[in-house]
Amino acid sequence: MIKLDDGTEVKVNAKKILLATGGHPTVPQGIPGAEHGINSDGVFELDHQPMKVAIVGAGYIAVEFAGMLNALGTETHVFIRHEKFLRTFDEMIQDGILSEYERVGIHIHKNSKVEKVTKTGKLTLHYSDSTGQGKLKDLDTLIWAIGRTPEVEGLGLDVVGVKQNERGQIITDEYQNTKVENIYSLGDVVGKVELTPVAIAAGRKLSDRLFGGDQFNTSKLDYDLIPSVVFAHPEVGTIGLTQEEAVKKYGRDNIKIYKSSFTATYFAIMEDKGPSKDKLICQGKDEKIVELHTLGLGSGEILQGFGVAIKMGATKKDFDSCVAIHPTSAGAGYPQLDSYLNIMRYQYKMKFN
């Protein structure tokens, strides 16, 4: 049964059903006064710029909003439960973003827990951290950015036998099949890689398999090596394993790590130097690239091209064989050009581990 906007219900029968309902911002339960805050959707409904804001969360949504609002001149406070942002990302990105956000004046409250929210005109956020109890007063806006919840309420999944994990996400196999024949699911509601382009790609592959004929019988999306970018200030991009994951999978003696840190030419004559960092991890004698992480201006554009190469199985030798474009940050992906890059950039330094 489908309920329309006018309240009427329509019964629809189908031979095949796709569940791609997505997710919605999670609102904390059990925190008194939580209703005084807004979620990430509510940010786009604000009719004026908040001059003092608290953001609760350490994921990409919190990081992006914090960078944006701070750049606009808002006094920005971020409350995180641990020591760093983006804890599923490589340590280079975690450390780089944390350092840069602290440098530009974002107030980061580490190891903190929100206890309650009160409102008397403006908002007051009551919290605890390693130093004890604290209050942050005179807030214009409180933003909850603590994650997303799969949109499954009211679907009756248990009635038909569609299985879910402990987070409520729909369980599928590699072909997007649920446990029930002819019911499929993809996108944020399955929680594999929660990105819009990933859902679109998975939908195309599923459509090919279901309706494209015998030549598409095995069509499926490969969820490995999907590039991802966080539009922070500065941008960060990642594809492949983190360093910790690479060590765990291949062993420390079977990987080689290349790092670069420099000031891009774009910032050469500016007093405020934007950071640029890159990390490349290669595996085995052939030095097949299993990870690339980048932080700095234009990381999203840089990663798209590198992502294709890495997806095709590029090695460090392949990267070395390509002449770098002058002057670009992407050129830092070719560490053998150390002397050349030193000429075209200020304060360039390269080190190998």
Of residues 82, 81, 85, the one with CA closest to residue 67: 85
2-23+149-216 adopts what CATH topology?
Answer: FAD/NAD(P)-binding domain (3.50.50)
How far, CA to CA in Å, does 322 sit from each of 238, 306, 349?
21, 12, 20
- Does 126 qualify as catalytic in the annotation? no
What are the residues whose beta carbons fall under 8 Å from the beta carbon of 143, sequence distance 6 or more?
Answer: 37, 38, 39, 40, 42, 43, 53, 54, 55, 56, 57, 62, 65
DSSP H/E element including 185: strand 183-185
Give pLDDT, residue 263.
73
**Residue 97 has which token pair?**
């973003």
Catalytic-labelled residue, pool 36, 77, 126, 326: 326
Statement: the pTM of the whole predicted model exceeds 0.85: yes
Fill in the DSSP letter of residue 38.
Answer: B
Q: Where are the CATH 3.50.50.60 domain residues in the chain?
A: 2-23+149-216, 27-146
Give pLDDT, residue 269.
77
**Residue 245 has which token pair?**
């994951």
Reading the chain (353 residues) residue by residue, the pLDDT tens digits are 888 889 899 999 999 999 999 999 999 999 999 999 999 999 999 999 999 999 999 999 999 999 999 999 999 999 999 999 999 999 999 999 999 999 999 999 999 999 999 999 999 999 999 999 999 999 999 999 999 999 999 899 999 999 999 999 999 999 999 999 999 999 999 999 999 999 999 999 999 999 999 999 999 999 999 999 999 999 999 999 999 999 999 999 999 999 988 777 777 777 777 888 999 999 999 999 999 999 998 888 889 889 999 999 999 999 888 887 777 766 655 544 333 333 333 333 333 44
Count of all residues that appear for the chain in the document: 353
Of residues 123, 140, 149, 153, the one with CA closest to residue 43: 140
DSSP H/E element including 96: helix 91-103
Pairing of strands 113-120, 228-230: unpaired
228-352 adopts what CATH topology?
Answer: Enolase-like; domain 1 (3.30.390)
Q: Where are the CATH 3.30.390.30 domain residues in the chain?
A: 228-352
27-146 adopts what CATH topology?
Answer: FAD/NAD(P)-binding domain (3.50.50)
